[in-house]
Structure 1
Amino acid sequence: MATKTEVPGIAIITGAASGMGRATALAFAVAGATGFALLDLNEAGLAETKTLVSKAHPSARVETYKCDVTQESSVISAYTSAKEAFSRIDYAVHCAGIVTFQGPSADCTLEAFDHQNNVNYRGLWLCAREALRNMRTQSLDTEAYPDADIPPHRAQRGSIVNISSGLALHSQSGIPAYCGAKAGVTAITRSDALDYATQRVRVNSVLPGVVDSPMTNPSPEIRQWMYDNPVKKATPMRRFGLPEEIADVCVFLSGNKASFVTGACWSVDGGFCAGYSYE
Protein backbone atom coordinates (compact mmCIF):
# COMPACT_ATOMS: atom_id res chain seq x y z
CA MET A 1 0.00 0.00 0.00
CA ALA A 2 1.42 3.38 -0.94
CA THR A 3 1.99 6.08 1.63
CA LYS A 4 -0.35 9.08 1.54
CA THR A 5 2.62 11.44 1.39
CA GLU A 6 6.11 10.74 0.22
CA VAL A 7 7.72 11.90 3.47
CA PRO A 8 5.22 12.11 6.35
CA GLY A 9 7.56 13.43 8.99
CA ILE A 10 10.11 15.95 10.24
CA ALA A 11 13.11 17.05 8.17
CA ILE A 12 16.27 18.74 9.39
CA ILE A 13 18.35 20.34 6.64
CA THR A 14 21.75 22.02 6.92
CA GLY A 15 22.89 24.67 4.47
CA ALA A 16 19.22 25.58 4.09
CA ALA A 17 19.70 29.29 3.41
CA SER A 18 20.39 28.86 -0.32
CA GLY A 19 21.22 26.53 -3.17
CA MET A 20 20.72 22.81 -2.73
CA GLY A 21 19.74 23.19 0.91
CA ARG A 22 16.90 25.56 0.08
CA ALA A 23 15.80 23.44 -2.86
CA THR A 24 15.78 20.36 -0.62
CA ALA A 25 13.57 22.10 1.93
CA LEU A 26 11.11 23.05 -0.80
CA ALA A 27 11.15 19.52 -2.22
CA PHE A 28 10.30 18.12 1.22
CA ALA A 29 7.47 20.63 1.50
CA VAL A 30 5.97 19.53 -1.81
CA ALA A 31 6.39 15.88 -0.76
CA GLY A 32 4.36 16.43 2.40
CA ALA A 33 6.80 16.81 5.29
CA THR A 34 5.00 18.32 8.26
CA GLY A 35 7.92 19.88 10.15
CA PHE A 36 11.17 21.58 9.19
CA ALA A 37 14.31 22.42 11.14
CA LEU A 38 16.37 24.63 8.85
CA LEU A 39 20.02 25.24 9.76
CA ASP A 40 22.56 27.71 8.41
CA LEU A 41 24.86 30.55 9.46
CA ASN A 42 23.01 32.92 7.10
CA GLU A 43 19.99 34.01 9.09
CA ALA A 44 18.59 36.26 6.36
CA GLY A 45 18.73 33.37 3.89
CA LEU A 46 17.09 31.07 6.43
CA ALA A 47 14.23 33.54 6.85
CA GLU A 48 13.69 33.60 3.10
CA THR A 49 13.73 29.82 2.88
CA LYS A 50 11.22 29.64 5.74
CA THR A 51 8.87 31.96 3.84
CA LEU A 52 9.15 29.87 0.68
CA VAL A 53 8.56 26.59 2.54
CA SER A 54 5.54 28.03 4.32
CA LYS A 55 4.07 29.13 1.00
CA ALA A 56 4.63 25.67 -0.47
CA HIS A 57 3.16 23.88 2.57
CA PRO A 58 1.11 26.34 4.67
CA SER A 59 0.24 23.84 7.41
CA ALA A 60 3.84 22.76 8.05
CA ARG A 61 5.73 23.98 11.09
CA VAL A 62 9.05 25.60 10.20
CA GLU A 63 11.78 26.45 12.69
CA THR A 64 15.15 28.01 11.87
CA TYR A 65 18.41 27.69 13.77
CA LYS A 66 21.63 29.61 13.28
CA CYS A 67 24.27 26.90 13.20
CA ASP A 68 28.01 26.84 12.57
CA VAL A 69 28.79 23.26 11.55
CA THR A 70 32.46 23.73 12.41
CA GLN A 71 31.56 24.15 16.09
CA GLU A 72 30.49 21.05 18.01
CA SER A 73 28.50 23.05 20.56
CA SER A 74 26.56 24.86 17.83
CA VAL A 75 25.66 21.60 16.09
CA ILE A 76 24.60 19.88 19.31
CA SER A 77 22.51 22.91 20.31
CA ALA A 78 20.69 23.06 16.97
CA TYR A 79 19.91 19.34 16.81
CA THR A 80 18.85 19.26 20.46
CA SER A 81 16.56 22.24 19.94
CA ALA A 82 15.04 20.63 16.86
CA LYS A 83 14.36 17.39 18.72
CA GLU A 84 12.76 19.31 21.59
CA ALA A 85 10.60 21.31 19.17
CA PHE A 86 9.34 18.36 17.12
CA SER A 87 9.89 15.36 19.46
CA ARG A 88 11.58 13.40 16.65
CA ILE A 89 13.73 13.83 13.53
CA ASP A 90 12.78 11.59 10.61
CA TYR A 91 14.99 12.90 7.82
CA ALA A 92 18.37 14.64 7.95
CA VAL A 93 19.91 16.06 4.78
CA HIS A 94 23.34 17.57 5.23
CA CYS A 95 23.92 20.16 2.51
CA ALA A 96 26.20 22.64 4.26
CA GLY A 97 29.44 22.97 2.31
CA ILE A 98 32.01 25.25 0.77
CA VAL A 99 34.50 25.14 -2.07
CA THR A 100 37.59 27.30 -2.48
CA PHE A 101 40.18 27.02 -5.21
CA GLN A 102 43.52 27.04 -3.40
CA GLY A 103 45.67 25.34 -6.00
CA PRO A 104 47.69 22.09 -5.76
CA SER A 105 48.73 20.73 -2.39
CA ALA A 106 52.16 22.36 -2.48
CA ASP A 107 50.47 25.76 -2.75
CA CYS A 108 47.60 25.12 -0.34
CA THR A 109 47.89 26.69 3.11
CA LEU A 110 47.13 24.75 6.25
CA GLU A 111 44.41 27.27 7.07
CA ALA A 112 42.70 26.69 3.73
CA PHE A 113 42.99 22.92 4.09
CA ASP A 114 41.55 22.98 7.60
CA HIS A 115 38.69 25.28 6.60
CA GLN A 116 37.61 22.97 3.77
CA ASN A 117 37.72 19.92 6.02
CA ASN A 118 36.13 21.61 9.02
CA VAL A 119 33.03 22.43 6.98
CA ASN A 120 32.78 19.70 4.36
CA TYR A 121 33.98 16.66 6.31
CA ARG A 122 34.26 17.25 10.04
CA GLY A 123 31.23 19.52 10.07
CA LEU A 124 29.11 17.04 8.18
CA TRP A 125 30.22 14.27 10.53
CA LEU A 126 29.22 16.35 13.55
CA CYS A 127 25.76 16.79 12.05
CA ALA A 128 25.41 13.15 11.07
CA ARG A 129 26.49 12.09 14.56
CA GLU A 130 23.75 14.18 16.17
CA ALA A 131 21.15 12.90 13.70
CA LEU A 132 22.13 9.31 14.50
CA ARG A 133 22.01 9.93 18.23
CA ASN A 134 18.45 11.22 17.87
CA MET A 135 17.19 8.64 15.38
CA ARG A 136 18.54 5.40 16.81
CA THR A 137 16.25 5.38 19.87
CA GLN A 138 13.04 6.90 18.53
CA SER A 139 10.01 4.86 17.51
CA LEU A 140 9.54 3.50 14.01
CA ASP A 141 7.69 5.78 11.62
CA THR A 142 4.94 3.17 11.34
CA GLU A 143 4.12 3.97 14.96
CA ALA A 144 4.67 7.71 14.68
CA TYR A 145 2.54 8.12 11.55
CA PRO A 146 -0.10 5.37 11.55
CA ASP A 147 -2.26 7.23 9.00
CA ALA A 148 0.56 7.06 6.45
CA ASP A 149 -0.02 3.31 5.97
CA ILE A 150 3.69 2.52 5.79
CA PRO A 151 4.22 -1.23 5.23
CA PRO A 152 6.12 -2.87 8.13
CA HIS A 153 9.03 -3.94 5.93
CA ARG A 154 9.53 -0.29 4.90
CA ALA A 155 9.49 1.08 8.44
CA GLN A 156 12.43 3.15 9.61
CA ARG A 157 13.53 5.16 12.61
CA GLY A 158 15.20 7.72 10.43
CA SER A 159 17.06 8.40 7.23
CA ILE A 160 20.17 10.46 6.56
CA VAL A 161 21.38 11.84 3.25
CA ASN A 162 24.87 13.35 3.12
CA ILE A 163 25.81 15.62 0.24
CA SER A 164 29.15 14.54 -1.20
CA SER A 165 30.35 15.32 -4.73
CA GLY A 166 31.26 13.68 -7.99
CA LEU A 167 34.78 14.83 -7.16
CA ALA A 168 34.84 12.22 -4.42
CA LEU A 169 35.22 9.68 -7.24
CA HIS A 170 36.90 11.67 -10.02
CA SER A 171 39.21 14.36 -8.69
CA GLN A 172 39.77 17.77 -10.22
CA SER A 173 43.12 19.53 -10.20
CA GLY A 174 43.58 22.52 -7.96
CA ILE A 175 41.22 21.55 -5.13
CA PRO A 176 42.77 18.55 -3.34
CA ALA A 177 41.33 19.45 0.08
CA TYR A 178 37.80 19.62 -1.30
CA CYS A 179 38.14 16.34 -3.19
CA GLY A 180 39.57 14.63 -0.10
CA ALA A 181 36.84 15.95 2.18
CA LYS A 182 34.10 14.77 -0.16
CA ALA A 183 35.71 11.36 -0.48
CA GLY A 184 35.66 11.21 3.29
CA VAL A 185 31.93 11.94 3.26
CA THR A 186 31.25 8.90 1.09
CA ALA A 187 33.38 6.74 3.40
CA ILE A 188 31.62 7.75 6.62
CA THR A 189 28.29 7.39 4.85
CA ARG A 190 29.01 3.74 4.09
CA SER A 191 30.39 3.07 7.56
CA ASP A 192 27.39 4.65 9.32
CA ALA A 193 25.05 2.71 7.04
CA LEU A 194 26.64 -0.54 8.22
CA ASP A 195 26.55 0.42 11.89
CA TYR A 196 22.89 1.48 12.01
CA ALA A 197 21.17 -0.76 9.48
CA THR A 198 19.80 -3.14 12.11
CA GLN A 199 18.47 -0.17 14.06
CA ARG A 200 16.40 0.78 11.02
CA VAL A 201 18.29 3.97 10.26
CA ARG A 202 19.36 4.33 6.63
CA VAL A 203 22.35 6.44 5.57
CA ASN A 204 23.09 7.37 1.97
CA SER A 205 24.97 10.07 0.08
CA VAL A 206 24.27 12.06 -3.05
CA LEU A 207 27.14 13.00 -5.36
CA PRO A 208 26.17 16.08 -7.38
CA GLY A 209 27.95 17.10 -10.52
CA VAL A 210 28.34 20.75 -11.49
CA VAL A 211 25.28 22.48 -10.06
CA ASP A 212 24.25 26.05 -10.79
CA SER A 213 24.19 27.27 -7.20
CA PRO A 214 25.72 30.17 -5.22
CA MET A 215 28.41 27.90 -3.77
CA THR A 216 29.59 26.59 -7.12
CA ASN A 217 29.12 29.77 -9.12
CA PRO A 218 29.69 32.77 -6.82
CA SER A 219 30.46 35.15 -9.72
CA PRO A 220 29.75 35.42 -13.47
CA GLU A 221 33.44 34.82 -14.22
CA ILE A 222 33.60 31.59 -12.22
CA ARG A 223 30.28 30.44 -13.69
CA GLN A 224 31.63 30.93 -17.21
CA TRP A 225 34.81 29.02 -16.37
CA MET A 226 32.74 26.18 -14.92
CA TYR A 227 30.59 26.07 -18.03
CA ASP A 228 33.55 26.14 -20.41
CA ASN A 229 35.44 23.41 -18.53
CA PRO A 230 33.75 20.78 -16.31
CA VAL A 231 30.33 21.32 -17.92
CA LYS A 232 31.19 21.36 -21.61
CA LYS A 233 34.26 19.13 -21.39
CA ALA A 234 33.36 16.57 -18.72
CA THR A 235 29.57 16.47 -18.38
CA PRO A 236 27.93 14.34 -21.10
CA MET A 237 24.60 16.21 -20.77
CA ARG A 238 26.49 19.46 -21.44
CA ARG A 239 24.60 21.58 -18.91
CA PHE A 240 24.62 22.59 -15.29
CA GLY A 241 22.50 20.61 -12.89
CA LEU A 242 19.83 22.52 -11.00
CA PRO A 243 19.49 22.47 -7.20
CA GLU A 244 15.99 21.00 -7.44
CA GLU A 245 17.34 18.04 -9.41
CA ILE A 246 19.59 17.19 -6.48
CA ALA A 247 16.80 17.86 -4.00
CA ASP A 248 14.37 15.43 -5.62
CA VAL A 249 16.86 12.58 -5.23
CA CYS A 250 17.46 13.55 -1.59
CA VAL A 251 13.73 13.32 -0.89
CA PHE A 252 13.47 9.94 -2.59
CA LEU A 253 16.40 8.51 -0.65
CA SER A 254 14.97 9.88 2.60
CA GLY A 255 11.52 8.36 2.21
CA ASN A 256 10.13 4.87 2.57
CA LYS A 257 10.15 4.24 -1.17
CA ALA A 258 13.92 3.80 -0.82
CA SER A 259 13.52 1.43 2.13
CA PHE A 260 16.08 -1.14 0.87
CA VAL A 261 18.69 1.50 -0.01
CA THR A 262 21.47 2.18 2.48
CA GLY A 263 25.20 2.81 2.12
CA ALA A 264 24.64 3.98 -1.44
CA CYS A 265 26.41 6.86 -3.16
CA TRP A 266 24.06 8.20 -5.82
CA SER A 267 25.60 10.20 -8.66
CA VAL A 268 23.35 13.04 -9.83
CA ASP A 269 25.71 14.61 -12.30
CA GLY A 270 24.56 14.52 -15.92
CA GLY A 271 26.86 11.58 -16.59
CA PHE A 272 30.06 13.13 -15.14
CA CYS A 273 31.08 10.02 -13.24
CA ALA A 274 30.08 7.65 -16.04
CA GLY A 275 33.02 8.72 -18.18
CA TYR A 276 34.04 11.05 -20.98
CA SER A 277 31.78 11.70 -23.96
CA TYR A 278 33.43 12.43 -27.32
CA GLU A 279 30.38 14.06 -28.92
Structure 2
Amino acid sequence: MSQPDLSGEVAVVTGGSSGIGREICLSLADAGADIVVADLRTEPRTGGTPTHERITQETDSDARFVDCDVTEQDDRQTVATTAAEMGGADVLVNNAGIFRGEEFSEVTEEEFDQLMAVNVKAVYFLTQALIDQLLDEGGRVINLSSVAGLEGSGDFVSYCTSKGAVRLMTYSLADKYGPEGVRVNAIHPGIIETSMVTEDVPIIGGESEEAFLQTVPMREFGQPEDIADAALYLASDQSGYVNGESLVVDGGSTHT
Protein backbone atom coordinates (compact mmCIF):
# COMPACT_ATOMS: atom_id res chain seq x y z
CA MET A 1 0.00 0.00 0.00
CA SER A 2 1.38 3.41 -0.94
CA GLN A 3 1.92 6.08 1.68
CA PRO A 4 -0.92 8.62 2.03
CA ASP A 5 -0.31 11.80 0.04
CA LEU A 6 -2.03 14.99 1.22
CA SER A 7 0.08 17.35 -0.87
CA GLY A 8 -1.74 20.56 -1.70
CA GLU A 9 -4.37 20.04 0.97
CA VAL A 10 -5.14 22.12 4.06
CA ALA A 11 -5.96 20.54 7.41
CA VAL A 12 -7.41 22.30 10.45
CA VAL A 13 -6.62 20.65 13.79
CA THR A 14 -8.06 21.97 17.05
CA GLY A 15 -6.04 21.42 20.19
CA GLY A 16 -3.06 21.00 17.90
CA SER A 17 -0.33 22.32 20.16
CA SER A 18 -0.03 19.33 22.50
CA GLY A 19 -0.60 15.63 22.93
CA ILE A 20 -2.76 13.82 20.41
CA GLY A 21 -3.49 17.00 18.43
CA ARG A 22 0.21 17.76 18.02
CA GLU A 23 0.94 14.29 16.69
CA ILE A 24 -1.98 14.53 14.27
CA CYS A 25 -0.63 17.86 12.97
CA LEU A 26 2.85 16.39 12.48
CA SER A 27 1.52 13.26 10.78
CA LEU A 28 -0.68 15.18 8.33
CA ALA A 29 2.16 17.61 7.60
CA ASP A 30 4.58 14.74 6.94
CA ALA A 31 2.05 13.52 4.35
CA GLY A 32 2.16 16.93 2.65
CA ALA A 33 -0.77 18.85 4.12
CA ASP A 34 -0.56 22.48 5.18
CA ILE A 35 -1.80 22.84 8.75
CA VAL A 36 -3.89 25.32 10.73
CA VAL A 37 -2.99 24.71 14.39
CA ALA A 38 -5.89 26.03 16.47
CA ASP A 39 -5.27 26.12 20.21
CA LEU A 40 -5.35 28.29 23.31
CA ARG A 41 -1.61 27.95 23.78
CA THR A 42 1.32 28.01 21.40
CA GLU A 43 3.77 25.79 23.29
CA PRO A 44 3.20 22.08 23.97
CA ARG A 45 2.17 21.32 27.54
CA THR A 46 5.26 19.17 27.92
CA GLY A 47 7.58 21.79 26.43
CA GLY A 48 9.45 21.91 23.16
CA THR A 49 9.13 23.67 19.83
CA PRO A 50 5.62 24.93 19.01
CA THR A 51 3.85 22.62 16.58
CA HIS A 52 3.51 25.12 13.74
CA GLU A 53 7.20 26.05 13.98
CA ARG A 54 8.28 22.42 14.02
CA ILE A 55 6.23 21.74 10.88
CA THR A 56 7.80 24.59 8.94
CA GLN A 57 11.28 23.62 10.15
CA GLU A 58 11.07 19.88 9.54
CA THR A 59 8.71 19.44 6.58
CA ASP A 60 7.89 21.10 3.27
CA SER A 61 4.42 22.01 4.57
CA ASP A 62 3.17 25.40 5.65
CA ALA A 63 1.64 25.86 9.09
CA ARG A 64 -0.09 28.72 10.89
CA PHE A 65 -1.07 29.03 14.52
CA VAL A 66 -4.45 30.52 15.44
CA ASP A 67 -5.08 31.53 19.04
CA CYS A 68 -8.44 29.82 19.40
CA ASP A 69 -10.86 29.22 22.22
CA VAL A 70 -13.14 26.71 20.50
CA THR A 71 -16.09 27.89 22.60
CA GLU A 72 -15.90 31.39 21.07
CA GLN A 73 -17.62 32.01 17.74
CA ASP A 74 -15.23 34.82 16.77
CA ASP A 75 -12.26 32.49 17.25
CA ARG A 76 -13.94 29.76 15.23
CA GLN A 77 -14.51 32.23 12.42
CA THR A 78 -10.85 33.28 12.56
CA VAL A 79 -9.90 29.63 12.06
CA ALA A 80 -12.18 29.44 9.03
CA THR A 81 -10.76 32.67 7.61
CA THR A 82 -7.19 31.44 8.06
CA ALA A 83 -7.98 28.16 6.33
CA ALA A 84 -9.56 30.06 3.44
CA GLU A 85 -6.46 32.22 3.11
CA MET A 86 -4.37 29.06 2.81
CA GLY A 87 -6.55 27.71 0.00
CA GLY A 88 -9.56 26.29 1.81
CA ALA A 89 -9.95 23.47 4.31
CA ASP A 90 -9.85 19.92 2.97
CA VAL A 91 -9.63 18.23 6.38
CA LEU A 92 -11.05 19.21 9.76
CA VAL A 93 -9.92 17.37 12.88
CA ASN A 94 -12.07 18.27 15.88
CA ASN A 95 -9.59 17.17 18.53
CA ALA A 96 -9.89 19.79 21.29
CA GLY A 97 -11.62 18.48 24.39
CA ILE A 98 -11.60 18.44 28.18
CA PHE A 99 -12.06 15.66 30.71
CA ARG A 100 -13.50 15.72 34.18
CA GLY A 101 -13.98 12.92 36.67
CA GLU A 102 -16.95 13.49 38.89
CA GLU A 103 -19.45 12.50 41.49
CA PHE A 104 -22.69 12.74 39.50
CA SER A 105 -24.76 14.23 42.32
CA GLU A 106 -22.23 17.05 42.82
CA VAL A 107 -21.85 18.27 39.22
CA THR A 108 -22.96 21.87 38.85
CA GLU A 109 -24.79 23.25 35.85
CA GLU A 110 -21.81 25.52 35.16
CA GLU A 111 -19.42 22.54 35.08
CA PHE A 112 -21.74 20.58 32.82
CA ASP A 113 -22.17 23.52 30.45
CA GLN A 114 -18.41 24.02 30.19
CA LEU A 115 -17.83 20.36 29.31
CA MET A 116 -20.54 20.38 26.68
CA ALA A 117 -19.38 23.72 25.25
CA VAL A 118 -15.88 22.41 24.58
CA ASN A 119 -16.60 18.78 23.73
CA VAL A 120 -19.85 19.11 21.77
CA LYS A 121 -20.91 22.64 20.90
CA ALA A 122 -17.46 23.57 19.56
CA VAL A 123 -17.41 20.52 17.28
CA TYR A 124 -20.83 21.41 15.94
CA PHE A 125 -20.15 25.07 15.23
CA LEU A 126 -16.58 24.78 13.95
CA THR A 127 -17.77 22.17 11.48
CA GLN A 128 -20.56 24.56 10.53
CA ALA A 129 -18.04 27.40 10.06
CA LEU A 130 -15.93 25.30 7.69
CA ILE A 131 -18.57 23.26 5.89
CA ASP A 132 -18.68 25.42 2.76
CA GLN A 133 -14.91 25.05 2.30
CA LEU A 134 -15.12 21.31 2.91
CA LEU A 135 -17.91 20.97 0.37
CA ASP A 136 -15.82 22.76 -2.23
CA GLU A 137 -12.90 20.41 -1.71
CA GLY A 138 -14.65 17.07 -1.14
CA GLY A 139 -13.50 17.29 2.45
CA ARG A 140 -13.11 15.02 5.41
CA VAL A 141 -14.18 15.65 9.01
CA ILE A 142 -12.57 13.61 11.78
CA ASN A 143 -14.11 13.94 15.23
CA LEU A 144 -12.25 12.78 18.32
CA SER A 145 -14.77 10.97 20.50
CA SER A 146 -13.64 8.35 23.03
CA VAL A 147 -14.36 4.84 24.17
CA ALA A 148 -16.44 6.79 26.70
CA GLY A 149 -18.68 7.65 23.76
CA LEU A 150 -19.35 3.94 23.26
CA GLU A 151 -19.71 2.66 26.81
CA GLY A 152 -21.20 4.38 29.82
CA SER A 153 -19.27 4.82 33.05
CA GLY A 154 -20.74 5.87 36.36
CA ASP A 155 -17.53 7.70 37.21
CA PHE A 156 -17.66 9.94 34.12
CA VAL A 157 -21.33 10.57 33.38
CA SER A 158 -20.88 14.06 31.91
CA TYR A 159 -17.86 13.08 29.84
CA CYS A 160 -19.61 10.00 28.46
CA THR A 161 -22.62 12.16 27.63
CA SER A 162 -20.47 14.60 25.68
CA LYS A 163 -18.54 11.97 23.75
CA GLY A 164 -21.69 10.02 22.96
CA ALA A 165 -23.09 13.21 21.48
CA VAL A 166 -19.99 13.57 19.28
CA ARG A 167 -20.46 10.01 18.03
CA LEU A 168 -24.08 10.59 16.96
CA MET A 169 -23.22 14.00 15.54
CA THR A 170 -20.63 12.24 13.39
CA TYR A 171 -23.16 9.75 12.05
CA SER A 172 -25.69 12.49 11.35
CA LEU A 173 -23.21 14.69 9.49
CA ALA A 174 -22.00 11.69 7.49
CA ASP A 175 -25.56 11.06 6.40
CA LYS A 176 -26.19 14.71 5.53
CA TYR A 177 -22.99 15.46 3.63
CA GLY A 178 -21.94 12.08 2.29
CA PRO A 179 -24.03 12.61 -0.87
CA GLU A 180 -22.11 15.86 -1.44
CA GLY A 181 -18.69 14.27 -1.15
CA VAL A 182 -17.76 15.03 2.47
CA ARG A 183 -16.82 12.04 4.62
CA VAL A 184 -17.31 12.32 8.40
CA ASN A 185 -15.86 9.77 10.80
CA ALA A 186 -14.98 9.47 14.47
CA ILE A 187 -11.97 8.11 16.30
CA HIS A 188 -12.55 6.58 19.73
CA PRO A 189 -9.27 6.48 21.67
CA GLY A 190 -8.81 4.36 24.74
CA ILE A 191 -6.25 5.35 27.36
CA ILE A 192 -3.50 7.27 25.56
CA GLU A 193 -0.32 8.44 27.28
CA THR A 194 -0.75 12.22 27.27
CA SER A 195 -0.58 14.87 29.96
CA MET A 196 -4.35 14.53 30.36
CA VAL A 197 -4.04 11.02 31.80
CA THR A 198 -0.74 11.57 33.60
CA GLU A 199 -1.49 14.96 35.17
CA ASP A 200 -5.15 15.94 34.91
CA VAL A 201 -6.86 12.69 35.85
CA PRO A 202 -4.34 10.99 36.58
CA ILE A 203 -4.69 7.42 35.34
CA ILE A 204 -1.11 6.67 34.36
CA GLY A 205 1.11 7.17 37.38
CA GLY A 206 -1.82 7.01 39.77
CA GLU A 207 -3.01 4.32 42.12
CA SER A 208 -5.42 2.95 39.54
CA GLU A 209 -2.86 2.53 36.74
CA GLU A 210 -2.46 -1.22 37.07
CA ALA A 211 -6.21 -1.77 37.31
CA PHE A 212 -6.76 0.19 34.10
CA LEU A 213 -3.90 -1.63 32.39
CA GLN A 214 -5.50 -4.99 33.13
CA THR A 215 -8.58 -3.92 31.15
CA VAL A 216 -6.46 -3.61 27.99
CA PRO A 217 -5.87 -6.98 26.27
CA MET A 218 -2.59 -5.73 24.80
CA ARG A 219 -1.44 -4.81 28.35
CA GLU A 220 -0.10 -1.45 27.27
CA PHE A 221 -1.52 2.04 26.92
CA GLY A 222 -1.70 3.79 23.58
CA GLN A 223 0.54 6.55 22.30
CA PRO A 224 -0.50 9.78 20.56
CA GLU A 225 1.11 8.42 17.41
CA ASP A 226 -1.47 5.61 17.37
CA ILE A 227 -4.29 8.13 17.09
CA ALA A 228 -2.36 10.20 14.56
CA ASP A 229 -2.00 7.13 12.34
CA ALA A 230 -5.77 6.61 12.51
CA ALA A 231 -6.39 10.26 11.65
CA LEU A 232 -4.03 10.09 8.68
CA TYR A 233 -5.88 7.04 7.38
CA LEU A 234 -9.26 8.78 7.67
CA ALA A 235 -7.88 11.97 6.09
CA SER A 236 -6.44 10.14 3.08
CA ASP A 237 -7.81 8.41 0.01
CA GLN A 238 -7.02 5.07 1.65
CA SER A 239 -10.32 5.46 3.50
CA GLY A 240 -12.19 6.67 0.43
CA TYR A 241 -15.24 4.46 1.08
CA VAL A 242 -15.29 4.96 4.86
CA ASN A 243 -18.05 7.29 6.04
CA GLY A 244 -20.08 7.49 9.22
CA GLU A 245 -17.73 5.09 10.99
CA SER A 246 -16.30 4.79 14.50
CA LEU A 247 -12.65 3.77 14.47
CA VAL A 248 -11.83 2.41 17.94
CA VAL A 249 -8.15 2.63 18.94
CA ASP A 250 -7.99 1.15 22.42
CA GLY A 251 -5.89 -2.02 22.36
CA GLY A 252 -9.05 -4.12 22.50
CA SER A 253 -10.40 -2.90 25.85
CA THR A 254 -13.88 -2.03 24.57
CA HIS A 255 -14.59 -5.60 23.54
CA THR A 256 -13.47 -7.47 26.65
1:93 and 1:161 in contact (8 A); partners too: yes
For residues 57-76 of structure 1, the aligned pairs below 5 Å read 57=59, 59-76=60-77
Q: Percent of aligned pairs with the same residue?
A: 28
Q: Structure 1 CA distance, aligned partners of 2:24 and 2:188?
A: 14
2:192 and 2:222 in contact (8 A); partners too: yes
String of CA shifts for 1:106-163, please: whole Å, max 9, x gaps: 1211111111111011111122222323211x24xxxxxxxxxxxxxxxxx1101000
CA gap of 1:221–1:15, structure 2 versus 1, over 3 A, is: closer
In the alignment of these two chains, the number of paired residues is 251
Match of 1:183 among 164, 174, 192: 164
CA gap of 1:80–1:221, structure 2 versus 1, over 3 A, is: closer
Match of 1:259 among 224, 240, 256: 240
Output the amino acid matched with 1:55: Q
Pairing 1:228–2:229 present: no
2:100 and 2:201 in contact (8 A); partners too: no
Shift in Å at residue 204 of structure 1? 0.3
1:121 and 1:182 in contact (8 A); partners too: yes
Residue in 1 aligned with 2:198? 217
Output the amino acid matched with 1:161: I
- The answer to which of 223-232 and 111-120 deviates more is 223-232
CA gap of 1:252–1:223, structure 2 versus 1, over 3 A, is: same
Output the amino acid matched with 2:175: L
Pairing 1:97–2:79 present: no
Unaligned runs of 5+ in 2: none
Unaligned runs of 5+ in 1: 140-156
Output the amino acid matched with 1:231: L
1:99 and 1:216 in contact (8 A); partners too: no
- The answer to which of 158-167 and 106-115 deviates more is 106-115
TM-score by length of 1: 0.84
Shift in Å at residue 274 of structure 1? 1.3
Q: Structure 1 CA distance, aligned partners of 2:202 and 2:191?
A: 15
- SS of match in other structure, 1:207: strand
1:7 and 1:251 in contact (8 A); partners too: no
Residue in 2 aligned with 1:169? 150
- The answer to which of 158-167 and 67-76 deviates more is 67-76
Residue in 1 aligned with 2:222? 241
CA gap of 1:103–1:229, structure 2 versus 1, over 3 A, is: farther
Larger Rg: 1
2:187 and 2:247 in contact (8 A); partners too: yes
Residue in 2 aligned with 1:195? 176
1:16 and 1:38 in contact (8 A); partners too: yes
Shift in Å at residue 237 of structure 1? 1.3
